[in-house]
Structure 1
Amino acid sequence: MVGRKSLKGDYCPSARSLDVIGDWWSLLIVRDAFDGLTRFSEFQKSLGIAKNILTERLRTLVSRGILEAVPVGDSGARMEYRLTAVGRDLFPVMVALRQFGERHLFKPGEAHSELVDRETGLPVRLDIRTPDGRSVGPDDTVLLKVPEE
């Protein structure tokens, strides 16, 4: 089996981000954490993931600062996994993935979960804007790469 290449030193922020949270199980764990799940058993039930894989993904998410493991109960032997400030910064990523799925992976009228504002019940939509407030898309942007040495 080929080992996974580390992208930790890459000049591209996307590559470094994928190095931290680059597999689908991890993203699904983060999704569930945003939905309020905190316990190992809750993640396992929601995802149907093997316990050894879940253990490894949770360990990795904690070591990379996405989740924190907080002891609970009288003995402190059980843990809850909670999003850190770093993990909460993944919210726009999760919304972008959701919007992609809504636009391209469901037939018109096909039922799917929906992310809504807790206060108003209105759908949440991600809109990319410049600091001066203008909405931008891929044709409006250019990537300034670090020159190769």
Structure 2
Amino acid sequence: MNLAVLARWIVAVAASSILAALTVAAQLGILTMMGALLGGDGSAGSAYLIATASFYLSLPCFFLGVAILGAPAAWTLTRLKGDRAIPAGLLGGAVSTLIGAIVLSSSLGFTGLVFASTLPLAGAITGLTYRELMKSPN
């Protein structure tokens, strides 16, 4: 692995993890604002608190997930001749939803599945971002 590929990998992991965490935070903040998540009052203060906490809690999870599973998933898609945008988004969404639903439901029960409902979109954004940033420059 040369230095250019390593630098692209570091940027791809960081950028896709940050975008995924922002996506989760935005979705949970909106759900809280609507009052659908905690059954609460739907105030902006509670939405800000949930969005901030979910960003800081999901960022390391996405960072580890992309760092560990990003390269093998991209390699698999390349070998299967499926290295296009839609398969990358679908694989990212499927992997993050599956792993996230298992972890969240085992630790939080049914409430974890409510939090896991934000993972398909975040995973799809992660897969697409990782794919685009790991393309070799021509």
TM-score normalised over the length of structure 1: 0.26
Tell me which protein shows more helix as a share of its residues: 2
Looking at CA atoms only, which structure, 1 or 2, has the larger radius of gyration?
Answer: 1
Larger RCO: Structure 1 or Structure 2 (Cα < 8 Å, ≥ 6 residues apart)? 2
TM-score normalised over the length of structure 2: 0.27
